[in-house]
Every structure is written in structure tokens, then in C-alpha cells.
């Protein structure tokens, strides 16, 4: 960067909303020279709400700002122009079913998600499940605000709606999904300013993951006699997969010569590789010879994706057979994979990579359920001379 630019005063442009109109806010450190130039702009006004000078958000006014301060100030557009990347590596989702559902609702006069909302989800390549969740939650928000134009709704209305959800006893995760669904409409579809970021976020509860012991995993897999069902549970546990990752596995994702499994378009649109041990590989070969899947590793009876409900049913049946009465889910097997690796001495950084966690803090949660560091600790009761 030119050293002369660093010496210039900085004017930061902001998207703001004044009396329902989009405006350009100008933030700067006050100086007589800057204020003189400000007065030459086309009818600049002061906002007591945002504590900054503003102009109507038009191409003419934006160009005027650049022309006026050329060589006099550095115009910082970092917060003004959006540069949100589309998930180019993500597989395009088919949202036709969602389009049809909300079109039918509109035809019946029921609250439904706007067409442009679904189209933008499609353009941004959101997964089908995320799109389904967002559209459903935003349709509920529209229903709650029937009689009001969406553009008239402000932060107070949204906070009131979120408060109602809290009173219903919904989880913090559910509340965050609702906020994200609402924010997507105002900030992405309508391209409104970032004032909607001021909505309070619920504190995320720090709950420890449920983990099955190695002995329980052994019992669980031993009682699962159907080779397809066993292959499903073994693959989730031995590779540390999310349920959606298992269902989307294709035959071409198995790299048997390298003993690796390629996980495509996982959470956050990222690809990763995870371990594929020899025992799992041998079981999958037996399964393949018996079932002959064509595209996906695990397919439904008529081909195509296997059902998530079927996987959950398989696990619940095996849990009952193994007399394990913990409220386990397919994700419990992933938690168990990570915890058992940690207890067997695997470095946290390697576990993070295998699980596909963006932040090491997420992986560090398993240190709280691992028993490795607790085995050498003696209770103070052992030093007391007490007989029971």
C-alpha cells in the first residue's frame, strides 16, 4: 500500500436505515478539513440514532463521496460492500420440493416463505436440510406477524418474537436457527443494513456429549447381525461420521488402497478425509458383495439415498438388544469415536482433522468426557481411615 494513503484521514462507509430508507453513513474522526468537504456534499444530514452523517443510498451520492474525497481521505468500504462468497465447492441442492410446498401454501392463502427467499438459498447452495429448516422457521415468523408488512417489522418485533420462543421452552440451538432464518431474509434477500445483528443471541449451553464405552460399543456391534445394519453402525463409529455424511457416501469415496474415506461437502461445505481401518474395509467388502449398491455406499430398497430414520431405527433396535439404556443417537457413535481416540493417546489436532471441526475448541470438549486424565487421580476419601 502507498505510504501516502496511511497518512490520509479515514472515512468509513456504513449501511444504515433512516426512516425506512437505505442511507450511506459516514464515520470519521472530526476535523475542520473533513467537515468542510462534508458540507460540499448534496444535503448531508446528521443521525442522532447512528451518531454519524448520512446521505441517501444512491449511485449518484456514492460517486459524489468518492469524487469529493479523492486525494483527501481514504474511503473504507469494508463494511459497506458485501463480499460474501458463494459455496462454489458445494453441490447444488434441488429445492423444487420446497418451492412447490410454499407455492401450494400461497395458493391456499397460508403463510409461506417468499419465492425470492428460496431462490437465494438455492443460489448460495445451502443444503436441502438447512433450506427446509430456514423456510419452515421463516414461514412461522410470517404467520406470527400476519397483518404486518415484512418491511415494517423492526428489531423490537423480532425480539418480542424470540422472547415468545424462549417462553415456549425451545432450546438455544432452535432459537439461533430462528434468528438465522429471519436475518437471512432481511440482510441477504432484502440486502438491508447490519442493524439486525443487534438481536441478542442466546447463550449456548455447554453440555457434555453422551459417549458409549468401548465395552458398550462392542456389545452394540455384536448384537447387530444384519450385515448392512452392522456396516452402517461400524462405518459411523470407526470413521467418526455425522449421519448426513454417512448417507451421502458414494462408492467412489472409498480409497481402499490408502485406507482412507473421502467425506465430501460436509458441514460448512468442506471436504475431508478420515481413517478407514482394515476391519471396516473387510466388512464393507462383504456387504458390497451381498447388496451390490450402485452409486451410494448405502442405498434404499429402490436405490438412491438411504433414509436417516432407518439408521436411527437400526441403532435403537441394537441398543435394546445390547441392553444399553442410554439415550444414544447416531451422533453418539461419532462422539464415542473421538473420545476413544483421545483416551488411546491420539493428539487433539489429529482428532480435530478427522472430525472436520473448524475450531479446536469444539474438539477440546472431548477432554471433559475422556477418563484418561482421571484414572491416576485418587479421591481424598482413600486417605481417610474409614471402614464401610
Lowest mean pLDDT among 24-38, 228-242, 322-336: 24-38
Average pLDDT over residues 91-102: 77
The domain locations on the chain are 3-76, 96-198, 214-368
Average pLDDT over residues 321-346: 93
Contacts of 271 (CB under 8 A, 6+ apart): 89, 262, 263, 264, 265
pLDDT at 290 over 90: yes
Average pLDDT over residues 115-139: 88
229 pLDDT band, cuts 50/70/90, is very high
- Selecting among 228, 267, 272, 317, the annotated active-site residue is 267
* Residue 232 grid cell: 452402517
Active site residue 163: no
Lowest mean pLDDT among 143-152, 295-304, 306-315, 335-344: 143-152
Active site residue 259: no
Cα distance between residue 23 and residue 357, in whole Å: 39
- The answer to whether the CB of 360 falls within 8 A of the CB of 348 is yes
pLDDT for the residue numbered 281: 94
- Selecting among 230, 334, 335, 340, the annotated active-site residue is 334
201 pLDDT band, cuts 50/70/90, is low
Active site residue 334: yes
Average pLDDT over residues 253-257: 93
- Selecting among 126, 237, 296, 366, the annotated active-site residue is 366
271 pLDDT band, cuts 50/70/90, is confident
3 pLDDT band, cuts 50/70/90, is very low
Greater confidence (290 vs 31) lies with: 290
- Selecting among 101, 105, 125, 242, the annotated active-site residue is 242
User: Which CATH number describes the domain made up of 214-368?
Assistant: 1.10.443.10
Average pLDDT over residues 2-6: 42
Maximum C-alpha span of the chain: 90
Which pLDDT tens digit goes with each residue over 20-45? 888 999 999 888 889 999 999 998 99
- Selecting among 61, 195, 272, 331, the annotated active-site residue is 331
Active site residue 357: yes
Q: Parallel, antiparallel, or unpaired: how do β-strands 52-56 and 21-28 relate?
A: antiparallel
Active site residue 242: yes
% pLDDT > 90, the chain: 44
Average pLDDT over residues 128-155: 87
pLDDT at 382 over 80: no
Cα distance between residue 285 and residue 273, in whole Å: 19
- Selecting among 14, 230, 335, 357, the annotated active-site residue is 357
pLDDT for the residue numbered 151: 77
- The answer to whether the CB of 253 falls within 8 A of the CB of 271 is no
User: Which CATH number describes the domain made up of 96-198?
Assistant: 1.10.150.130
Average pLDDT over residues 204-230: 90
Q: Is 120 exposed, middle or buried (0-12, 13-18, 19+ CB in 10 A)?
A: middle
Active site residue 366: yes
pLDDT for the residue numbered 75: 87
387 pLDDT band, cuts 50/70/90, is low
Greater confidence (267 vs 228) lies with: 228
Instruction: Please give the CATH architecture assigned to the domain spanning 3-76.
Output: 2-Layer Sandwich (3.30)
pLDDT for the residue numbered 130: 87
pLDDT for the residue numbered 5: 40
Q: Which of 134-138, 158-162, 182-186, 374-378 has the highest mean pLDDT?
A: 134-138
Amino acid at each position: 500500500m502507498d505510504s501516502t494513503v496511511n497518512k490520509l484521514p479515514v472515512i468509513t462507509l456504513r449501511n444504515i436505515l433512516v426512516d425506512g430508507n437505505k442511507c450511506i453513513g459516514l464515520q470519521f474522526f472530526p476535523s475542520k478539513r473533513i467537515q468542510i468537504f462534508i458540507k460540499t456534499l448534496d444535503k448531508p444530514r446528521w443521525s442522532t440514532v447512528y451518531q454519524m452523517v448520512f446521505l441517501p443510498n444512491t449511485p449518484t451520492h456514492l460517486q459524489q463521496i468518492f469524487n469529493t474525497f479523492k486525494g483527501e481521505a481514504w474511503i473504507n468500504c469494508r463494511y459497506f460492500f458485501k463480499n460474501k462468497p458463494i459455496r462454489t465447492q458445494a453441490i447444488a441442492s434441488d429445492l423444487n420440493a420446497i418451492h412447490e410446498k410454499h407455492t401450494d401454501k400461497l395458493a391456499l392463502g397460508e403463510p409461506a416463505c417468499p419465492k425470492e427467499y428460496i431462490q437465494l438459498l438455492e443460489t448460495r447452495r445451502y443444503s436441502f436440510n438447512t433450506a427446509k429448516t430456514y423456510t419452515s422457521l421463516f414461514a412461522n415468523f410470517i404467520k406470527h406477524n400476519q397483518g404486518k408488512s415484512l418491511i415494517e417489522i423492526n428489531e423490537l418485533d423480532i425480539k418480542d418474537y424470540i422472547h415468545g420462543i424462549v417462553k415456549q421452552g425451545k432450546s438455544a440451538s432452535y432459537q439461533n436457527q430462528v434468528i438465522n432464518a429471519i436475518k437471512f431474509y432481511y440482510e441477504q434477500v432484502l440486502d438491508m443494513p447490519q442493524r439486525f445483528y443487534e438481536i441478542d443471541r442466546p447463550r449456548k449451553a455447554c453440555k457434555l456429549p453422551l459417549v458409549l464405552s468401548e465395552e458398550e460399543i462392542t456389545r452394540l456391534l455384536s448384537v447387530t447381525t444384519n450385515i448392512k445394519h452392522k456396516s452402517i453402525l461400524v462405518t459411523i463409529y470407526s470413521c467418526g461420521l455425522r449421519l448426513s455424511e454417512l448417507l451421502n457416501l458414494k462408492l467412489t469415496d472409498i480409497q481402499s488402497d490408502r485406507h482412507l474415506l473421502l467425506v465430501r461437502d460436509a458441514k460448512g461445505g468442506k471436504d475431508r478425509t478420515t481413517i478407514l481401518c482394515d476391519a471396516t474395509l473387510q466388512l464393507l467388502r462383504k456387504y458390497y458383495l451381498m447388496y451390490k449398491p450402485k452409486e451410494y455406499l448405502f442405498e434404499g430398497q429402490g436405490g438412491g439415498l438411504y433414509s436417516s430414520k432407518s439408521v436411527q431405527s437400526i441403532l435403537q433396535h441394537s441398543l435394546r438388544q445390547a441392553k444399553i439404556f442410554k439415550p444414544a443417537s447416531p451422533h453418539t457413535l461419532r462422539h464415542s469415536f473421538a473420545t476413544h481416540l483421545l483416551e488411546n493417546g491420539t493428539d487433539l489436532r489429529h482428532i480435530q482433522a478427522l472430525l472436520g471441526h473448524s475450531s479446536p475448541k469444539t474438539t477440546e470438549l472431548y477432554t471433559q468426557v475422556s477418563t484418561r486424565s482421571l484414572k491416576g487421580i485418587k479421591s481424598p476419601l482413600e486417605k481417610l481411615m474409614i471402614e464401610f
